[in-house]
Structure 1
Amino acid sequence: MNIWVIVCLPLGGLLIGYIYYWLGKAIEKGNNLVLEEYYQPNKTIPFKMAPLVLFGTVATHFFGGSAGREGTAIQMGAAIADQFSKILKRFHLDRKILLIMGISAGFASVFGTPLAGCIFALEVLVIRKINWKAIFPSLLVALVADIFCARGWQVPHTHYYITEIANYSIINLLWAVFAGVAFGFTAMVFSKSKVFFKNVFQKIKFAPLRPFMGGIVIALFVFSIGSTKYLGLGIPIIEAAFSSPLEPYDFAIKVLLTAFTLGAGFKGGEVTPLFFMGATLGNALFLFVPLPMSLLAGMGFVAVFAGATNTPLACMVMGMELFGVEGGVFIAIACVTAYFVSGQTSVYTSQNKSKLKHGLYAFLKLKKV
């Protein structure tokens, strides 16, 4: 990325802000609107969510904002699927199942992981409670979306490789738990930071000025460090995290920069930046954790995501889809640990967290008979 493109980031932010101010007030909640319509159906998600979020995300990436793309795919999938709710209601198809199908298709098509997409759509909506009636349609559309995207449109997906697996031993599994704690804490910090920056920018009453001012700060930061490595999706850095030592603070900068970008009102998702945070944190942990670098990077890749979205099952499956089943035990331990450590936080603030995440706490809680 040319560093001088960042000069235009404030103007890109102003453009995004104005378009959403004029046309997108009804859909500015983004992923949270999708979740709210699932929990408490109000009205059909406006179709304009799909083109507006696509434009906003492309503009954010073009000008160098630190954001992902899964949020775009989820919003597009849900908005398009919801347009069929009135038509298919005649066939007694639950609207909630349609929304799950939209989320599943969007996720699967972006990452090339149909099984994880299916489970993510089921798991992200209600913690510890899955709509099992939707499992077949969710899987079906995930597979179709993945095939259509990868083969129909010839869209390639980035491949990451865990080249070495640690021996199964009590010590190594305990190290995996330790790494999971670090991944979960990072997920919690990111979720809280995103809310913090959003609250800060809410003090600017005229909404289009929020991404404009945020773009100025980001541009100044980039010029001060003389590098664009932390902008955009950051895929080259993610790939490097599996094989080469990186700066141990890379993950922390990505946490703050992505939270700031999204909090300021730029559009895009959180997941690929979460992959960046997790892979680079795993790379940094290699300095003192006696597990292979690529394994730690792969564990972090999915575990930070698991902690930030409260979807440990989907992330376990995603890890195995992306990296193979050989490291499945370490991936599972990291995802489950990160899920618990991240607490009641989420990058999706409207996510239903009404039930205790920690089953142990529920077991120990005294109830009156």
Structure 2
Amino acid sequence: MNKSFFITLAKWVLPAGIIGLLIGSATALLLTVNDALGNVREQNSWLILFLPLGGLLIGFLYMKLGPSSGYDLYKGNNLVIEGVQGKTKVLRRLGPLVYLGTFITVFFGGSTGREGAAIQMGGSAAETVIRFFKINVIDRKILLMSGISAGFGAAFGTPITGAVFGMEMSAIGKMKYEALIPCLTASFIGHYVTENVWGVEHEEFVIKALPELSVMSFAKVVLLAIIFSLLSMFYCQLRHGIHFLSEKYTKKNHMVRAFAGGLIIVLLTFTAGTYEYNGRGLDMLEASFDSDVPRFAFLAKLVFTAVTMGSGFVGGEAIPLFFMGATLGNTLYPFFDFPLSFLAALGLITAFCGGANTPVAAFLLSVEMFDGKGIEYFFVACITAFIFSGHHGLWPSQKIYEPKSRLFRLTNGDTIKNVEQKKKKH
């Protein structure tokens, strides 16, 4: 039995380690190129005028490389989730394609993030390793999870969060603890390679002060978590609504979808009179921790990102959700007797938690990102946001193994997409 255990362990750890090595280097490339392209765009604001043409190119690539293989590559993270669920295969071309699409989106000023590209590259790398080692069906699912873990852990410099995120992302109400060792291996190696081999530095957000522990403070945190969860729910609904309508009226012509979306973003940019909501918006995100930001910045970012991602551009949605939550926390500062940096941090974590439906990973993200400060508050906030965001989310393919509460009368094993469709029929 011991021999069998170590053989199985080796079958997980070796491939997971290779996945971590691949994704650590790939994510370092993603972050470095994204930063360089973002800086060029900020210095040349006229590049926003070419966003519709960038959309045409992305749409062409996805239409050219997707349907011919029988897969909708625009599913992105959902395709990786369905791979973990055993419903489909993750194409190896998905990762390089989403990288190129993310670079185009960032360079011309679409509102996007990074984790989607890292996760999808993780899935592609895992699929490559799986085929090379001829991994069986059960272990295949576990190694796909480790690809997700490597991508997330390396993208944000949070290896523990990455390990759990890989296990938690594909299903609501269930984690496959069997995958912990390969997910942890891939995430830590990916993180180590990104930071220590390639020297990539991640953004740092600092909580300068915390509220005193009291019943009133916890009550305020619960109220704030509900507000932030509603923000994430509204974003997800708007983003998926735009996606549905844009596909419907263009008959899934992704070139037309993205071109039209690019035009709308150009118009929104000139209407807003600022370029703060294009690209990743890291400067305003960091500023929200220690100074005033525009009162409705969270709403502007929400609209910019929903249009960008809903119309066919690619990248990620974690950074935009961080931005929305942190800037909304900044806006709520006059109404709550809490330190500004704490409000921004609380918004950042809970908005992400409500959209991703990953409460354990979100809590661990707060621990790693803020050096364990305020863990009592973040724990309560993540649970609250998870429940009050309902069965909505960034990824319609997430399976609901168990409803978040008995108050939700749902069928076990359904997906977010099916739940949404049933609601519309009623």
CA shift for structure 1 position 3: 2.6
2:109 corresponds to 1:67: no
The answer (yes or no) to whether the contact 2:268–2:304 under 8 Å persists in 1 is no
Identify which of 155, 162, 167 aligns with 2:212. Answer: 167
Structure 1 residues 242-281: aligned runs within 5 Å: 242-281=289-328
CA–CA distance in structure 1, aligned partners of residues 221 and 178 of structure 2: 34
Q: Which amino acid aligns with 1:214?
A: G
Q: What secondary structure is seen at the aligned counterpart in 1 of 2:124?
A: helix
Q: What secondary structure is seen at the aligned counterpart in 2 of 1:300?
A: helix
Structure 1 residues 351-362: aligned runs within 5 Å: 351-358=398-405
Structure 1 residues 29-44: aligned runs within 5 Å: 29-42=75-88, 44=89
The answer (yes or no) to whether the contact 2:74–2:312 under 8 Å persists in 1 is no
Paired position in structure 2 for 1:82: 127
CA–CA distance in structure 2, aligned partners of residues 244 and 289 of structure 1: 16
Identify which of 349, 360, 378 aligns with 1:331. Answer: 378
Structure 1 residues 83-122: aligned runs within 5 Å: 83-89=128-134, 94-122=139-167
Paired position in structure 1 for 2:263: 216
TM-score, normalised with respect to structure 2: 0.82
Identify which of 62, 78, 94 aligns with 1:20. Answer: 62
Q: Which amino acid aligns with 1:345?
A: H
The answer (yes or no) to whether the contact 1:74–1:107 under 8 Å persists in 2 is yes
Paired position in structure 2 for 1:367: none
Q: Which amino acid aligns with 1:234?
A: G
1:6-35 deviations in Å (ceiling 9; x for gaps): 111111111111111111333221111111
Q: Which amino acid aligns with 2:289?
A: F
Unaligned segments of structure 1, at least 5 residues:
363-369
CA shift for structure 1 position 96: 0.7
CA–CA distance in structure 1, aligned partners of residues 136 and 265 of structure 2: 50
The answer (yes or no) to whether the contact 1:194–1:263 under 8 Å persists in 2 is yes
Aligned sequence identity (%): 39
247 and 314 in structure 1: CA distance in 2 versus 1, 3 angstrom threshold: same
The answer (yes or no) to whether the contact 1:24–1:52 under 8 Å persists in 2 is no
Paired position in structure 2 for 1:365: none
CA shift for structure 1 position 93: 6.4
1:70-109 deviations in Å (ceiling 9; x for gaps): 0000000011101222343458861111110000000011
Structure 1 residues 45-64: aligned runs within 5 Å: 45-64=90-109
Q: What secondary structure is seen at the aligned counterpart in 2 of 1:65?
A: coil
CA shift for structure 1 position 326: 2.3
Q: Which amino acid aligns with 2:128?
A: Q
Moved more, 81-90 or 288-297: 81-90
CA–CA distance in structure 2, aligned partners of residues 249 and 341 of structure 1: 23
CA–CA distance in structure 1, aligned partners of residues 169 and 137 of structure 2: 24
TM-score, normalised with respect to structure 1: 0.95
CA–CA distance in structure 2, aligned partners of residues 336 and 227 of structure 1: 36
CA shift for structure 1 position 41: 3.5
Q: Which amino acid aligns with 2:166?
A: A
The answer (yes or no) to whether the contact 2:170–2:398 under 8 Å persists in 1 is yes
The answer (yes or no) to whether the contact 2:78–2:396 under 8 Å persists in 1 is yes
2:271 corresponds to 1:229: no
CA–CA distance in structure 2, aligned partners of residues 88 and 209 of structure 1: 40
1:210-229 deviations in Å (ceiling 9; x for gaps): 11011111101111222110
20 and 5 in structure 1: CA distance in 2 versus 1, 3 angstrom threshold: same
The answer (yes or no) to whether the contact 1:89–1:95 under 8 Å persists in 2 is no
Paired position in structure 2 for 1:154: 199
Structure 1 residues 180-199: aligned runs within 5 Å: 180-199=225-244
Paired position in structure 2 for 1:366: none
Q: What secondary structure is seen at the aligned counterpart in 1 of 2:169?
A: helix
Paired position in structure 2 for 1:348: 395
Q: Which amino acid aligns with 2:402?
A: K
CA–CA distance in structure 2, aligned partners of residues 240 and 150 of structure 1: 24
The answer (yes or no) to whether the contact 2:350–2:382 under 8 Å persists in 1 is yes
RMSD between aligned residues: 1.5
Q: Which amino acid aligns with 2:300?
A: I
1:148-204 deviations in Å (ceiling 9; x for gaps): 001111111011100001100000110000110111000100110111100121111
Bigger RCO (CA 8 Å, 6+ sep): 1
